[in-house]
Amino acid sequence: MRLWASAALLLLVATTPAARGQTSTLRAAGRSLNDAAEARAQRKATERYDPIFKKYTQRYFGVGTDWRLFKAQGMAESDLTPTARSRVGARGIMQLMPSTYGLIRSALPQFGAIDNPEWNIAAGILHDRDLWTLFKRDVPDDERWRFMFAGYNAGEGTIIRARRTAAAEQLDDRSWQSIERVAPKVERWRYPETLEYVRKIEQNHKSLPPPR
């Protein structure tokens, strides 16, 4: 009888408003600790490749170039996942096609396997540099980033056709806004994907902490 009474008393105490409040506080604290731990783990994972992005941005674009642009691109491509593979066969953090990587590796045989994070990032930034140079002649720098990333996603020929379409519409073909306007008229271009890709890179870049 005493045992039953003791159990009933404990149950009563546990279900009082004060006890329920304490339990809720403990659960909330536990969730906060778990969330903080997950945030730290995620931050550590996303920062893991920062030294590589810094190294090859400096090598192929020069000192002072914001390496976070290419990290933002890697986030858009694969969420920085080195084992990522697309439905069309693109691989790695920078989602390079094996054919593209093969051309780069033929010129730079020191590059290793396409799935190696360092070489994949290096090749992606080098490919960006080639596109950056392609549009260097007449596209201003503040717009050229968008042209470069769009060319990476859709192919340089597609962006060149888009520029011709903009010029034919008597729009400024050096302006990304003009390219967005004529995009639906450009043949053989899955333009919603490319326009969203460029926007996503810009959003990712804004979300990253300032360079240290």
CA 89 to chain centre: 18
Mean pLDDT of 102-120: 96
- Answer yes or no: do 141 and 65 share one domain: yes
Which contacts (CB < 8 Å, 24+ apart) does range 191-197 have?
A: 191/154, 193/153, 193/154, 194/150, 194/153, 194/154, 194/158, 195/150, 197/76, 197/149, 197/150, 197/153
126 or 20, higher pLDDT: 126
- Give the structural domain span for 26: 2-44
170, 187: one domain: yes
Query: Do the domain assignments include residue 159?
Result: yes
**pLDDT of res. 211:** 78
Q: What angle do CA 139, 100, 52 make, to 5 degrees?
A: 75
Does 77 score more than 50 pLDDT? yes
Question: Does residue 155 contact residue 90 with C-beta atoms inside 8 Å?
Answer: no
User: Quick one: 156 and 143 in the same domain?
Assistant: yes
Count CA atoms closer than 13 A to 131's CA, side-chain side: 24
Mean pLDDT over residues 28-35, rounded? 64
Quick one: 34 and 128 in the same domain?
no
Residue 153 domain flag: yes
- Better-scored residue on pLDDT, 12 or 101: 101
Across the chain, what does the average pLDDT equal?
Answer: 88
Q: Which residues pair with 91 in a beta bridge?
A: 85, 96
Residue 11 belongs to some domain of the structure: yes
pLDDT score at 46 = 75
Predicted pLDDT at 100:
95
Residue 212 counted as domain residue: no
Say yes or no: 27 and 99 in one domain.
no
> Is 75's pLDDT higher than 90?
yes
- Judgement on whether residues 117 and 27 belong to the same structural domain of the protein: no
Look at 142 and 39; give whichever has higher pLDDT.
Answer: 142
Residues 85 and 119 in one domain: yes
